[in-house]
Amino acid sequence: MNIPIFSSGQRYSKVKQAQLQMKKAINNRELAKKNLKNGYIQARNNYMNAYETYISDQKNKELAKKVLDRTNKKYKEGMVTSMELTQANDKYLETQSSYINSLVQLLNAKVELLKILNAL
């Protein structure tokens, strides 16, 4: 029978190295979980903010349309100048542009959220 009395610690160091590799893998997995969770929370918050902006811009667009319609009626009756009509029209076009931009941001935020949820 040949039993080694002293193995120079090679087996011990391999076991310790394997244990360190396992701890490293566990830490990497936990970090990935946290990153995914944070990514989801950020995407959800971006979506909610984009939705609120969209709703606000939609209301602003409707209000600007009403103002434009009233200003147009007053212009036809001679109660406002063409400059005021032009300003009301400009304001309506600005709110419409803002509405379209918020709609695009909402759609982009929704796509990002769906990517995070792996629903695309």
Count of domains observed in the chain: 1
| pLDDT average, residue stretch 101-112 | 97
Nearest-angstrom CA–CA distance, 93 and 49: 23
Nearest-angstrom CA–CA distance, 85 and 71: 6
Range of the domain at 102: 43-120
Q: What percent of the chain has pLDDT over 70?
A: 92
Give residues with Cβ within 8 angstroms of 58, minimum separation 6.
99, 102
Q: What is the CATH number of the domain that holds 112?
A: 1.10.287
The pLDDT of residue 88: 96
Among 41-55, 83-97, 106-120, name the one with the lowest average pLDDT: 106-120
pLDDT at 41 over 70: yes
The pLDDT of residue 4: 58
Name the residue type at position 94: E
Nearest-angstrom CA–CA distance, 100 and 108: 12
Tokens 């039993």 -> residue: 3
Task: Tell me the pLDDT band of 118, cut-offs 50, 70 and 90.
Answer: confident
pLDDT at 95 over 80: yes
Q: Could you tell me if residue 32 is inside a domain?
A: no
* 59-69 residue pLDDT tens: 999 999 999 99
Name the residue type at position 79: M
The pLDDT of residue 3: 61
Q: Could you tell me if residue 14 is inside a domain?
A: no
Task: Tell me the pLDDT band of 11, cut-offs 50, 70 and 90.
Answer: confident
